[in-house]
A and B are shown apart, each in its own frame.
Chain A
Amino acid sequence: ELKVEQNPLFLSMQEGKNYTIYCNYSTTSDRLYWYRQDPGKSLESLFVLLSNGAVKQEGRLMASLDTKARLSTLHITAAVHDLSATYFCAVGSGGSNYKLTFGKGTLLTVNP
């Protein structure tokens, strides 16, 4: 059974600081997703990582994937208040990797 662990689950940080969210998973997969969810809203796709060593960046967020270590990171650079949200990683499994198993999410609060 695929297990996906995110840490930390709660993150409070100051504007301008850097931090990293970690996503570990238990079985082989080369498909890793990061989503953002604002309170009461749906999920917004941030990144899809499809191969070992994949790195993607959008604004102040950068995601990477190490399939050998079964680890993905979401790095936040110079945080701003607008980044406050819950961030989920999800790992693809099944024959075509389209069955997603989600981590429990990281609630990020960026304080002025």
Chain B
Amino acid sequence: DAGITQSPRYKITETGRQVTLMCHQTWSHSYMFWYRQDLGHGLRLIYYSAAADITDKGEVPDGYVVSRSKTENFPLTLESATRSQTSVYFCASSGTGVEQYFGPGTRLTVT
């Protein structure tokens, strides 16, 4: 189906493990974004990408790594997960940079 998907939808991992969250969009949008949502903070931008091979830090990038080798994919990696990274992660994409379309989210728990 066309649209923006995230996988996995739910993930439980242990402190110190590496975990990768996947984001895939079928619109060939240039812009892609990763946000985390925590109670009391709204959504905060982690990383964004204006095109393949172009990425930049957002508001809360520490502890995260991104790559974008293909336009349609924007994986987010937690190199060594910590409990403070327990959150709901949303990926978004945009064709023009104006309207952002959000994926269904990944609920990550770090024990």
| Residues in chain A within 8 A of chain B (CB atoms) | 4, 31, 33, 41-43, 45, 48, 50, 88, 90, 96-105
Contact = CB atoms under 8 A, between A and B. Distances in A.
Contacts of B98: 31, 48, 50, 98
A99 B42 contact: no
Counting chain B residues whose Cβ lies within 8 A of the other chain, the interface size class is 20 to 34
B42 A98 contact: no
Contacts of B59: 101
Contact of B105 (A4, A42, A50, A96): A42
Contacts of A100: 33, 43, 45, 100
A101 B100 CA distance: 13
Contact of A98 (B44, B94, B102, B105): B94
A42 B102 contact: yes
A104 B41 contact: yes
A45 B101 contact: yes
A103 B58 contact: no
Given A100-B45, A101-B45, A104-B41, A45 B99 contact: yes
Contact of A104 (B33, B42, B94): B42
Contacts of B94: 98
Interface in B66-111: 90, 94, 97-105
7 contacts: A33-B100, A41-B105, A42-B102, A43-B43, A98-B48, A98-B97, A98-B98
B44 A102 contact: yes
B97 A96 contact: yes
A102 B99 contact: no
B62 to A, nearest CB: 16
